């Protein structure tokens, strides 16, 4: 009998993995054949993907209901990362195919990145760097006014999962008053880590000097931060997003930055990323990083190893973990 096939599916323009799959191979070589396939975002899935017994999916190619209907051998789809919005998980569940993710691989990196963006905004690192390198040495009063003492500020978190919790602990260590909104967090979570809980998103927006987003992208959260929500934020507040771009509507955010209602934004992700126009890129008081908050060699090895272990369990008929459907 032929051996099971595990396919690593990666978007063509991002060489996230190596052709030899050096991280995954030690976990799978004795139980399955392993192949890496690079695919354009909208290209049809080739037969070798549709025939696979397990698919390790990098961010990019969409696994729709139509694709799932053609997966005749598939025992698991494993998203190499936290988000699983690129997979129709309901269709997969109906087909009896587990969809799994790797929710903990980048916890430290993303939390560190969120706090780094926050500190860069509060301490005005990039404008001051540009001023110094232009051979000037002057801090204008409007710039200095944004450089507030952290202990006087309220750091608001939307979504207190693994990354949200890690971010909360880091912000707390810097002296922020930390509050969060998460209707799904267990009762008493705030007591366990020593922060405050509010009962509504509206309340969080009104009291926070910084809003940091750490919830998953879903039908509930898509476009959750729009014009009305931004208007409810404090004048001069900061917005940080290291979750998913589509949670925040970029047009009202950029408008609020231009009007001065928001003092700054630190975005690792943007709606319909990347930035599309020179006008978007020229938005004042905006820091954008290239959906890179998760990156580190250690994190990538952890993520790929976990995905390979889940794929191994799937092809062996064992129970998989991190199932989201």
Which of the residues are catalytic? 244, 273, 291
Rounded distance between C-alpha atoms, residue 74 and residue 184, angstroms: 31
Rounded distance between C-alpha atoms, residue 114 and residue 151, angstroms: 18
Contacts by 276-280, CB closer than 8 A, 24 or more apart: 280/250, 280/254
- Strand ranges (DSSP E) for the chain? 5-11, 33-39, 54-57, 77-79, 99-100, 154-158, 177-181, 196-197, 210-213, 237-241, 262-267, 286-288
Rounded distance between C-alpha atoms, residue 222 and residue 212, angstroms: 16
Token readout for 110 is: 């993303």
Rounded distance between C-alpha atoms, residue 37 and residue 39, angstroms: 6
Only one residue has tokens 């549709």, namely 50
């Amino acid at each position: 009998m032929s051996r099971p096939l595990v396919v690593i599916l990666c978007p063509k323009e991002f060489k996230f993995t190596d052709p030899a799959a050096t991280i995954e191979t030690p976990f799978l070589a004795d139980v399955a054949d392993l192949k890496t396939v690079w695919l354009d975002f909208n290209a049809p899935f080739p037969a070798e993907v549709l025939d696979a017994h397990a698919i390790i999916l990098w961010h990019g190619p969409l696994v729709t209901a139509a694709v799932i209907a053609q997966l005749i051998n598939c025992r698991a789809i494993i998203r190499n990362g936290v988000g699983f919005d690129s997979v129709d998980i309901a269709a997969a569940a109906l087909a009896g195919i587990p969809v799994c993710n790797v929710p903990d691989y980048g916890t430290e990196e993303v939390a560190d990145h969120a706090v780094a963006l926050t500190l860069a905004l509060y301490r005005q690192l990039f404008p001051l760097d540009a001023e110094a390198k232009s051979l000037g040495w002057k801090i204008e009063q409007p710039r200095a006014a944004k450089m507030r003492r952290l202990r006087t500020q309220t750091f608001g978190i939307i979504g207190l999962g693994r990354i949200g919790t890690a971010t909360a602990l880091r912000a707390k260590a810097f002296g922020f008053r930390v509050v969060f909104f998460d209707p799904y967090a267990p009762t008493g979570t705030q007591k366990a880590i020593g922060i405050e809980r509010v009962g509504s998103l509206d309340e969080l927006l009104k009291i926070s000097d910084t809003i940091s987003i750490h919830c998953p992208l879903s039908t509930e959260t898509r476009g959750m931060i729009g014009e009305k929500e931004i208007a409810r934020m404090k004048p001069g507040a900061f917005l940080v997003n290291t979750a998913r771009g589509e949670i925040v509507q970029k047009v009202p955010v950029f408008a609020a930055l231009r009007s001065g209602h928001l003092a700054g934004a630190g975005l690792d992700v943007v709606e319909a990323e990347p930035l599309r126009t020179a006008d978007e890129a020229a938005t004042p008081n905006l820091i954008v990083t290239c959906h890179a908050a998760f990156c580190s060699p250690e994190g990538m090895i952890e993520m790929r190893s976990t995905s390979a272990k889940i794929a191994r369990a799937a092809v062996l008929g064992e129970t998989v973990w991190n199932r989201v459907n």
